[in-house]
């Protein structure tokens, strides 16, 4: 264990120790022996997990001393729930898990990232369940699959469960990476279709049938590791229709809207148990001209997406938003990025409450180390801004359902870093912020397993957890 991991372990143990002190001073009644043992077990568990990383729990277990049954995540109004209890997302993206799992020499990195994420209390991972016609393709041609790669995805799902991490599985890409809609258009042209744009993916009946066939195959896949059909597996948090769909050939948004309507209902008809989201970036469109002021630039309202209208579709359970001020506003780091991030989030949380009646997840956010003016202090401030904005919603029972960092990588994958990667063992200050957010959210996620002498499940931790000094 290197010194950075050890130092981070001391941070975790110190946080737990502070929790114990606060709890002890919050009541004149002494904690009985069994409760004291449970508290000590939390400290010992965190310490042992650092020393023996094969253990599958971490800071996320602070909220509950008992193992909850592994049940499907659902939705009640504008809140996520598991077993009728609130569930708030503190998660991350690692898109390449399936491809890495397909090669024995890199498969261990899948386990590594889940271990490290679990250690700091991250609960949801978003990753690709597609790779179309490319190197190590899952779908080599329409409805023709590489079983080795499919078994790799089986491994990813089974490994996530081992570390109590749920998955958002994205089913296609707007962009060329890993095939994307461009690959579907190539397949269509090879079949003799008269296609003129990659956006024909959204409108051509044959290409729609290709996509639906892929959805059907993935949802009905029986995992070769767990023997559980994907559409029955609670490890899967949600299905994402597409990563960042855009349809620039139709700024009115009608073409994309029609595709979303068809595909959301199609997924739900096959799998009514799981949640469904679109995968949008969150740009406001023609249906809400009073909202386009919140867009990062004028181009954003011309890409064929329409945040409120798109999410009012039957079958869509929660809203998705991405945050990339350094791509959308200007690459050079400035305070304007933080101001935009806060107003962007608050606008979407308000819309999710007033117009949609559903949770909203900020499914990608981050900052690139390659940006002019970047420093780790700015990244820490961005993390804090996102997390604080979400907590302000959470404390009021609002629609802020959680966030997913772009992105968490384990050691030895630096060559995959696009500038946005966070390596938990190296980024000490960022890791502390992530861990504290997990601890805060665990007070909302837990059912308070101890006999609560402090009035509610948040009990005496609340003063500490919402202190601006931490």
How far is residue 12 from each of residues 22, 53, 174, 349, 467, measured CA to CA in Å? 16, 14, 39, 31, 17
Cα–Cα dist 233/158, whole Å: 10
- DSSP designation for 422: E
Reading the block at residue 276, the tokens are: 């469904």
Choosing from 240, 244, 277, 281, the catalytic residue is: 244
**Cβ(160)–Cβ(167) below 8 Å:** yes
Reading the block at residue 410, the tokens are: 């384990």
Reading the block at residue 249, the tokens are: 């050939």
40 assigned to active site: no
The separation between CA 151 and the C-alpha centre of its own chain, rounded to angstroms, equals 23
Choosing from 159, 353, 364, 462, the catalytic residue is: 364
Q: 3-class SS at 32?
A: coil
H or E stretch at 204: none
Cα–Cα dist 147/128, whole Å: 16
Say how many C-beta atoms besides its own lie within 10 A of residue 146's C-beta.
Answer: 15
Q: 3-class SS at 50?
A: helix
Length of the chain: 470
**Cβ(291)–Cβ(267) below 8 Å:** no
Reading the block at residue 195, the tokens are: 């296609």
Strands (E), 186-278: 236-240, 275-277
244 assigned to active site: yes
Tally the C-alpha atoms within 13 A of residue 246's C-alpha that lie toward its C-beta.
Answer: 16
Cα–Cα dist 151/147, whole Å: 6
Q: Which among 159, 176, 172, 80 has a CA at the least distance from the CA of 125?
A: 159
Place of tokens 């997840």: 361
Which residues are designated catalytic?
A: 244, 364
């Amino acid at each position: 264990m290197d010194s950075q991991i050890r130092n981070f372990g001391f941070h975790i143990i110190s946080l737990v120790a502070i929790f114990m002190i606060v709890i002890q001073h919050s009541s004149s009644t002494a904690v009985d022996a069994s409760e004291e043992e449970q508290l000590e077990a939390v400290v010992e568990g965190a310490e042992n997990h650092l020393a023996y990383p094969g253990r599958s729990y971490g800071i996320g277990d602070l909220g509950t001393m008992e193992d909850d049954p592994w049940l499907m995540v659902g939705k009640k109004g504008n809140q996520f729930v598991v077993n009728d209890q609130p569930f708030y997302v503190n998660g991350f993206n690692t898109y390449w898990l399936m491809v890495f799992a397909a090669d024995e020499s890199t498969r261990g990195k899948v386990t590594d990232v889940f271990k490290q994420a679990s250690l700091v209390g991250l609960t949801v991972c978003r990753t690709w369940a597609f790779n179309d016609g490319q190197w190590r393709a899952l779908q080599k041609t329409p409805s023709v699959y590489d079983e080795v790669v499919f078994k790799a995805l089986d491994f990813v799902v089974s490994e996530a469960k081992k570390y109590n991490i749920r998955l958002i599985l994205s089913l296609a890409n707007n962009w060329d990476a890993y095939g994307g809609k461009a690959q579907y258009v190539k397949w269509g042209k090879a079949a003799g279709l008269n296609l003129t744009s990659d956006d024909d993916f959204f409108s051509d009946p044959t290409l729609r049938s290709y996509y639906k066939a892929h959805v059907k195959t993935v949802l009905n896949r029986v995992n070769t590791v767990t023997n559980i059909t994907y559409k029955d597996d609670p490890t899967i948090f949600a299905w994402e229709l597409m990563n960042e769909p855009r349809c620039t050939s139709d700024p009115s948004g009608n073409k994309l809207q029609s595709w979303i309507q068809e595909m959301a209902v199609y997924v739900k008809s096959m799998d009514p148990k799981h949640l469904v989201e679109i995968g949008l970036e969150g740009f406001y469109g023609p249906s809400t001209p009073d909202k386009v002021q919140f867009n990062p630039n004028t181009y954003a309202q011309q890409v064929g997406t329409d945040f409120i209208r798109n999410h009012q579709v039957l079958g869509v359970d929660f809203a998705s938003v991405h945050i990339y001020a350094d791509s959308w506003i200007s690459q050079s780091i400035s305070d304007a990025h933080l101001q935009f991030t806060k107003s962007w989030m608050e606008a979407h949380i308000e819309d999710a409450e007033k117009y949609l009646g559903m949770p909203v997840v900020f499914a990608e956010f981050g900052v690139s180390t390659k940006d002019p003016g970047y420093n780790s202090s700015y990244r820490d401030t961005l993390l804090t801004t996102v997390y604080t904005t979400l907590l302000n919603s959470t404390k009021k029972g609002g629609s802020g359902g959680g966030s997913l960092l772009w992105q968490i990588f384990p050691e030895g994958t630096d060559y995959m870093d696009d500038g946005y990667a966070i390596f938990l063992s190296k980024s000490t200050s960022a890791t502390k912020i992530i861990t504290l957010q997990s601890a805060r959210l665990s007070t909302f996620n837990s059912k308070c397993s101890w006999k609560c002498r402090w009035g509610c499940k948040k009990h005496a931790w609340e003063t500490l957890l919402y202190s601006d000094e931490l």
